[in-house]
Structure 1
Amino acid sequence: MATTTTWTSEELDKIGGADELEVAPMSDGGPRKPTTIWVVRNGDDLYIRSYRGPEGAWYRAAKTTRRGHIRAGGVDKDVVFTEESDDDLLDGIDRAYRSKYGKYPRQYVDPMVAPEARACTMKLVPRSSA
């Protein structure tokens, strides 16, 4: 059984610095097809959101199984998905999305900080394979 661990500084830098992340939640005993999404770092944690809010297929699977696999910045890792709802934390994650992805048109960034996506914020927690 896998246990949770913490991100290394190198993993945080690589994943947090990557423009995109591939997320593959577990489904029926195996990983789903990876979906490319945005990822942000806030402190020593990494967060993802569903652009489509609760209707996102990857999000629904992640919410159900709580386990999956991510790939970004040269890092390949099994993860646990935890939901986040603290308003102060979500405000910081909003700022991280605006800062990191502000170079893109607002039509892409604004939905990531809209209430629907904000309500679908998940923290990525690394899992060891031991």
Structure 2
Amino acid sequence: MADWNSADLKKIAAAEELDLSSERANGTLRDPVTMWVVRSGDRLYVRSVKGVDGPWYQGTRTRRQGRVTAGGVRTDVTFHDADPDEYADVDAAYRQKYGRYPSIVEHVLTDAARASTLRLEPR
């Protein structure tokens, strides 16, 4: 597992949103998708509101790598499936960061969304 440098971790975690571009089989990047990003410990996570059937999530399955841009940081990443034992901490991070949007944040706290939890690691 690759570790984030402290400055990038803080900047990305503090950003309201993150743009994620996954790589196609030929190595080119898909168009970016804007989403929420949260930090738990020294790790960054994203989830698909539509769960594992969500189009952007499906795009991450091809090569399991891509690029993210947030908080002035643009970096290449790998996508790792989060372990179910990470879900509770990620849920708490979503509630803490985005709780001011109660009718929206609930959509990333469903069982379907939890199943799509990806840990972002720098490459």
Common fold by TM > 0.5: yes
2:16 alignment partner in structure 1: 19
Q: How many residues align?
A: 122
Within the alignment, does 1:118 sit opposite 2:114 as a pair? yes
2:43 alignment partner in structure 1: 45
Quote the Cα distance in structure 2 between the aligned partners of 1:5 and 1:36: 23
**Contact 1:84 1:121 (8 Å CA) reproduced:** yes
Within the alignment, does 1:102 sit opposite 2:94 as a pair? no
CA deviation digits over 1:69-122, x for unaligned, max 9? 0000000000000001233x1100000000000011x22100101100000000
2:6 partner letter: S
Quote the Cα distance in structure 2 between the aligned partners of 1:61 and 1:90: 21
| Pairing of 1:21-100 with structure 2 (within 5 A) | 21-27=18-24, 28-87=26-85, 89-100=86-97
Q: TM-score, normalised by structure 2?
A: 0.94
Does the residue aligned with 2:10 lie in a helix, a strand or coil? helix
Does the residue aligned with 1:16 lie in a helix, a strand or coil? helix
- Unaligned residue ranges in structure 2 (runs of 5+): none
Runs of 4+ off more than 2 Å: none
Quote the Cα distance in structure 1 between the aligned partners of 2:2 and 2:42: 13
Quote the Cα distance in structure 1 between the aligned partners of 2:119 and 2:83: 10
- Unaligned residue ranges in structure 1 (runs of 5+): none
Question: Identical aligned pairs, as a percentage?
Answer: 43
Q: What is the CA-CA distance between 1:43 and the residue it aligns to?
A: 0.4
Q: TM-score, normalised by structure 1?
A: 0.90
**Contact 1:85 1:119 (8 Å CA) reproduced:** no
